[in-house]
């Protein structure tokens, strides 16, 4: 599952791989810097229940994605991007995109039909990232929204993004 790619625009070496036990403190540090309140609590608490992917840039940890698979009525097996965090100094460099694309590859290997994520309505950067990768956006008023909220451990005021794999 390891991916190594050179970004020609900035000559950054980006490597995405599953986290190891030795990565735990660095992963927790990124999650603490990126989230507050209950989001921080659940991101750190559920690390042992998810597959944690890390992105390294030139050998330094730059971002983290927590992912898992679940079943959803009407959707079958769904891959969930549970938490996605990129250190501030690496934002806007395509690190989040690389993490999501690697998560999608994992979901395909796991025979998921869809990939899904949720975020707060105000997080336009996250919504823009997922939209640019072909995800459809659903809000509370959309019927399909409620089918996915529980499976994604989302909050009632989150937006849900889904992509057919």
Instruction: Report the pLDDT value the prediction gives residue 146, as an integer from 0 to 100.
Output: 73
Q: Tell me if the pTM is above 0.85.
A: yes
CA distances from 63 to 13, 32, 51, 84, 113 (A): 13, 12, 14, 8, 26
CB 39 within 8 A of CB 84: no
Q: What is the CATH number of the domain that holds 53?
A: 3.40.630.30
d(CA 164, CA 101): 13
CA angle, residues 70, 72, 76, in degrees to nearest 5:
85
Q: CA dist 45 to 26, 70, 119, 124, 137, Å?
A: 15, 18, 18, 25, 27
Nearest-angstrom CA–CA distance, 131 and 124: 10
Rounded to whole angstroms, how far apart are CA atoms 29 and 44?
10
Beta bridge partners of 54: 17, 64
The stretch 66-74 carries a mean pLDDT of 93
Domain extent at residue 91: 3-164
Mean per-residue pLDDT of the chain: 89
- The predicted structure's pLDDT at residue 155: 75
Question: How large is the average pLDDT for residues 2-23?
Answer: 73
Number of domains present in the structure of the chain: 1
Measured CA to CA, the distance from residue 165 to residue 163 in angstroms comes to 6
The winner for highest mean pLDDT among 11-15, 78-82, 122-126 is: 78-82
Nearest to residue 131, comparing CAs of 154, 86, 97?
A: 97
Kindly state the average pLDDT of the residues 5-34: 84
């Amino acid at each position: 599952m390891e991916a190594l790619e050179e970004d020609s625009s900035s000559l950054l070496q980006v490597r995405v791989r599953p986290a190891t036990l030795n990565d735990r403190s660095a992963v927790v540090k990124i999650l603490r810097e990126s989230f507050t309140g209950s989001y921080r609590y659940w991101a750190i608490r559920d690390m042992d229940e998810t597959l944690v992917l890390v992105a390294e840039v030139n050998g330094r940890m730059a971002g983290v994605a927590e992912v898992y698979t679940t079943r959803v009525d009407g959707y079958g097996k769904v891959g969930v991007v549970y938490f996605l965090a990129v250190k501030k100094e690496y934002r806007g460099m395509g690190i989040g995109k690389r993490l999501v694309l690697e998560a999608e590859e994992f979901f395909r290997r796991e025979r998921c039909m869809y990939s899904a994520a949720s975020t707060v309505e105000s997080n336009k950067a996250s919504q823009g990232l997922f939209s640019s990768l072909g995800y459809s956006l659903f809000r509370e008023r959309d019927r399909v929204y409620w089918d996915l909220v529980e499976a994604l451990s989302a909050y009632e005021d989150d937006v849900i993004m889904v992509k057919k794999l």
